[in-house]
Structure 1
Amino acid sequence: MEVKKVSVRIGNSDMVFETGKIAKQANGSVYAHYEGSAVIATVCCGKQPNEGLDYVPLSVEYNEKYYAAGKIPGGFLKRESRPKDKEILVSRLIDRPMRPLFNKAFGREIQIVPTAISSDMSNTPDIIAMNAASAAVTISDIPFGGPIAAVRISLLDGNYIVNPTFSEIEKSELDIVVAGTRDGITMVEGGAKEVSEEVMLEAIATAQPFITKLCDAQLELRELAGKEKLPIIESTVDLSWLAPVREFAYPLIKKASFVKGKMNRYAALAEVHEQVQETFADLIGEDEDRPNQLGGLFEDLEYEILRSSILNEGVRTDGRKVDEIRPITCEVGLLPRTHGSALFTRGETQSLAVTTLGTASDEQMFDTIDGEKSFSSFMLHYNFPPYSVGETGRLSTGRREIGHGHLAQRALEAIIPSKDVFPYTIRVVSEIMESNGSSSMASVCGGCLSLMDAGVPIKTPVAGIAMGLITEGADYSKYVVLSDILGEEDHLGDMDFKVTGSREGITAFQMDIKIAGVTPEIMKKALEQAKKGRIHILNIMEDTLKTPRGEINEYAPKILTMKVDLEKIGAVIGTGGKTIKAIASQSGAEVNIADDGTITIYGKNAAAAKLAKELVQSIVEEPEVGRIYQGTVKRIMDFGAFIEILPGKEGLCHISKLAKTRVQNVEDVLSVGQSVPVKLIEIDRQGRLNLSYIDAIEGNAK
Structure 2
Amino acid sequence: MFNVTKKSIQWGQEELTLETGKVARQADGSVIATLGETSVMANVTFAKQAKPGQDFFPLTVHYQEKTYAAGKIPGGFFKREGRPSEKETLTSRLIDRPIRPLFVPGFKNEVLVICTVLSHDLVNDPDIVAMIAASAALTISGVPFMGPIGAARVGFVDGEYVLNPEVSDMDQLRMNPEQRLDLVVAGTKDAVMMVESEAYELSEAEMLGAVKFGHDQMQPVIDLIIDFAEEAAKEPFDFAAPDYAALYDKVKAAGEKEMRAAFAIKDKQERTNAISAAVTSIKGALSEEDLADENLGSAIKKLESGILRGDVVANGIRIDGRDTKTVRPIVSEVGILPRTHGSALFTRGETQGLVITTLGTGEDEQIIDALHGNWRSNFLLHYNFPPYSVGEVGRFGPPGRREIGHGKLAWRALQAVLPAPTDFPYTIRIVSEITESNGSSSMATVCGSSLSMMDAGVPLKAPVAGVAMGLILEDDGKWAVLTDILGDEDHLGDMDFKVAGTEAGITSLQMDIKVAGITPEIMEQALAQAKDGRMHILGEMAKALTEGRSEFSAHAPRIETMTIPTDKIREVIGSGGKVIREIVETSGAKVDINDDGVIKIASANAEAIKKAYDMIYSIVAEPEEGKIYTGKVVKLVDFGAFVNFFGKRDGLVHVSQIANKRLQHPNEVLKEGQEVKVKLLGFDDRGKVRLGMKMVDQETGEEIAPEKKEKEESAES
TM superposition score normalised by structure 1? 0.91
Gaps of 5+ in 1: none
Match of 2:50 in 1: 49
Match of 2:209 in 1: 202
- Change in 2 beyond 3 A, CA 1:224/1:697: same
Does residue 584 in structure 1 map to residue 581 in structure 2?
A: no
Question: Does the CA contact (< 8 Å) of 1:380 and 1:428 recur in 2?
Answer: yes
- CA distance in 2: counterparts of 1:565 and 1:223, whole angstroms: 63
Match of 1:488 in 2: 488
How far does the alpha carbon of each residue in 1:251-282 deviate from its partner, in whole angstroms, 9 at most, with x for none?
2221221212111211222333445556x3xx
- CA distance in 2: counterparts of 1:329 and 1:69, whole angstroms: 49
Match of 2:709 in 1: none
Match of 1:269 in 2: 275
Q: Which moved further from structure 2: 317-326 or 655-664?
A: 655-664
Give 1:409 deviation, angstroms: 0.6
Question: Does the CA contact (< 8 Å) of 2:628 and 2:680 recur in 1?
Answer: no
Q: How do 1:496-507 residues align onto structure 2 when only pairs under 5 Å count?
A: 496-507=496-507
- CA distance in 1: counterparts of 2:537 and 2:243, whole angstroms: 50
How far does the alpha carbon of each residue in 1:27-65 deviate from its partner, in whole angstroms, 9 at most, with x for none?
111121111011111111113222443321110111111
1:461 to 439, 460, 463: 463
Determine helix, strand or coil for the equivalent of 1:426. Answer: strand
Give 1:513 deviation, angstroms: 0.7
Give 1:499 deviation, angstroms: 0.7
Does residue 696 in structure 1 map to residue 698 in structure 2?
A: yes
Structure 1 residue identity aligned to 2:583: I
Determine helix, strand or coil for the equivalent of 2:461. Answer: coil
Determine helix, strand or coil for the equivalent of 2:644. Answer: strand
- CA distance in 1: counterparts of 2:571 and 2:552, whole angstroms: 32
Q: How do 1:568-579 residues align onto structure 2 when only pairs under 5 Å count?
A: 568-569=568-569, 571-574=571-574, 577-579=577-579
- CA distance in 1: counterparts of 2:651 and 2:73, whole angstroms: 58
- Change in 2 beyond 3 A, CA 1:378/1:285: same
Does residue 179 in structure 1 map to residue 180 in structure 2?
A: no
- Change in 2 beyond 3 A, CA 1:287/1:312: closer
Does residue 368 in structure 1 map to residue 375 in structure 2?
A: no
Aligned length: 693
Give 1:324 deviation, angstroms: 0.4
Question: Does the CA contact (< 8 Å) of 2:363 and 2:592 recur in 1?
Answer: no
- Change in 2 beyond 3 A, CA 1:502/1:550: same
- Change in 2 beyond 3 A, CA 1:372/1:178: same
Determine helix, strand or coil for the equivalent of 1:205. Answer: helix
- CA distance in 1: counterparts of 2:370 and 2:574, whole angstroms: 37
- Change in 2 beyond 3 A, CA 1:319/1:131: same
Q: Which moved further from structure 2: 634-643 or 512-521?
A: 634-643
- CA distance in 2: counterparts of 1:691 and 1:570, whole angstroms: 33
Q: How do 1:296-335 residues align onto structure 2 when only pairs under 5 Å count?
A: 296-335=298-337
Does residue 405 in structure 1 map to residue 404 in structure 2?
A: no
How far does the alpha carbon of each residue in 1:291-314 deviate from its partner, in whole angstroms, 9 at most, with x for none?
x76654443222111111111111
Structure 2 residue identity aligned to 1:259: I
Match of 2:226 in 1: 219
Give 1:697 deviation, angstroms: 1.7
Match of 2:265 in 1: 259
Question: Does the CA contact (< 8 Å) of 1:653 and 1:692 recur in 2?
Answer: no
Does residue 137 in structure 1 map to residue 108 in structure 2?
A: no
Structure 1 residue identity aligned to 2:151: A
Match of 2:712 in 1: none
- CA distance in 2: counterparts of 1:567 and 1:87, whole angstroms: 40
Give 1:503 deviation, angstroms: 1.0
Question: Does the CA contact (< 8 Å) of 1:324 and 1:484 recur in 2?
Answer: yes
Structure 2 residue identity aligned to 1:263: Q
Match of 1:78 in 2: 79
Give 1:377 deviation, angstroms: 1.5
Gaps of 5+ in 2: 705-717
Match of 1:678 in 2: 677
- Change in 2 beyond 3 A, CA 1:603/1:225: same
Give 1:606 deviation, angstroms: 3.1
Give 1:678 deviation, angstroms: 2.6
- CA distance in 2: counterparts of 1:276 and 1:454, whole angstroms: 53
How far does the alpha carbon of each residue in 1:123-147 deviate from its partner, in whole angstroms, 9 at most, with x for none?
1111111111111111112111111
- Change in 2 beyond 3 A, CA 1:289/1:238: farther
Structure 1 residue identity aligned to 2:389: S
Q: Which moved further from structure 2: 226-235 or 568-577?
A: 568-577
- Change in 2 beyond 3 A, CA 1:625/1:95: closer
Give 1:622 deviation, angstroms: 4.7
Match of 1:13 in 2: 14
- Change in 2 beyond 3 A, CA 1:669/1:252: farther
Q: How do 1:613-632 residues align onto structure 2 when only pairs under 5 Å count?
A: 613-623=613-623, 629-632=629-632
Question: Does the CA contact (< 8 Å) of 1:628 and 1:696 recur in 2?
Answer: no
1:191 to 193, 198, 202: 198
Q: How do 1:344-423 residues align onto structure 2 when only pairs under 5 Å count?
A: 344-369=346-371, 371-393=372-394, 394-423=396-425
Question: Does the CA contact (< 8 Å) of 1:176 and 1:191 recur in 2?
Answer: yes
- Change in 2 beyond 3 A, CA 1:699/1:34: closer
Structure 1 residue identity aligned to 2:302: D
Match of 2:429 in 1: 427
Determine helix, strand or coil for the equivalent of 1:529. Answer: helix
Give 1:167 deviation, angstroms: 2.6
Match of 2:530 in 1: 530
Give 1:625 deviation, angstroms: 7.3
Q: Which moved further from structure 2: 689-698 or 14-23?
A: 689-698
Match of 1:289 in 2: 292
Give 1:455 deviation, angstroms: 1.4
Match of 2:126 in 1: 125
Question: Does the CA contact (< 8 Å) of 1:51 and 1:107 recur in 2?
Answer: no
Question: Does the CA contact (< 8 Å) of 2:86 and 2:404 recur in 1?
Answer: yes
Determine helix, strand or coil for the equivalent of 1:303. Answer: helix
Q: Which moved further from structure 2: 410-419 or 204-213?
A: 204-213
Structure 2 residue identity aligned to 1:648: K
- CA distance in 1: counterparts of 2:501 and 2:243, whole angstroms: 50
Give 1:623 deviation, angstroms: 4.6
Give 1:483 deviation, angstroms: 0.6
TM superposition score normalised by structure 2? 0.89
- Change in 2 beyond 3 A, CA 1:238/1:497: closer
- CA distance in 2: counterparts of 1:67 and 1:99, whole angstroms: 30
Question: Does the CA contact (< 8 Å) of 2:658 and 2:692 recur in 1?
Answer: no
CA-based RMSD: 3.0
- CA distance in 1: counterparts of 2:194 and 2:528, whole angstroms: 18
Give 1:590 deviation, angstroms: 3.2
- CA distance in 2: counterparts of 1:184 and 1:603, whole angstroms: 55
- CA distance in 2: counterparts of 1:645 and 1:28, whole angstroms: 77
Match of 2:715 in 1: none
Question: Does the CA contact (< 8 Å) of 1:659 and 1:694 recur in 2?
Answer: no
Question: Does the CA contact (< 8 Å) of 1:468 and 1:482 recur in 2?
Answer: yes
- CA distance in 2: counterparts of 1:660 and 1:164, whole angstroms: 73
Match of 2:100 in 1: 99
Question: Does the CA contact (< 8 Å) of 2:47 and 2:110 recur in 1?
Answer: yes
Give 1:636 deviation, angstroms: 4.9
Question: Does the CA contact (< 8 Å) of 1:331 and 1:343 recur in 2?
Answer: yes
Determine helix, strand or coil for the equivalent of 1:367. Answer: strand
- CA distance in 2: counterparts of 1:21 and 1:673, whole angstroms: 84
Identity value in percent? 50
Q: Which moved further from structure 2: 209-218 or 354-363?
A: 209-218
- Change in 2 beyond 3 A, CA 1:595/1:104: closer
- CA distance in 2: counterparts of 1:471 and 1:287, whole angstroms: 30
Structure 1 residue identity aligned to 2:75: G
- CA distance in 2: counterparts of 1:4 and 1:571, whole angstroms: 62
Structure 1 residue identity aligned to 2:149: I
- Change in 2 beyond 3 A, CA 1:640/1:316: same
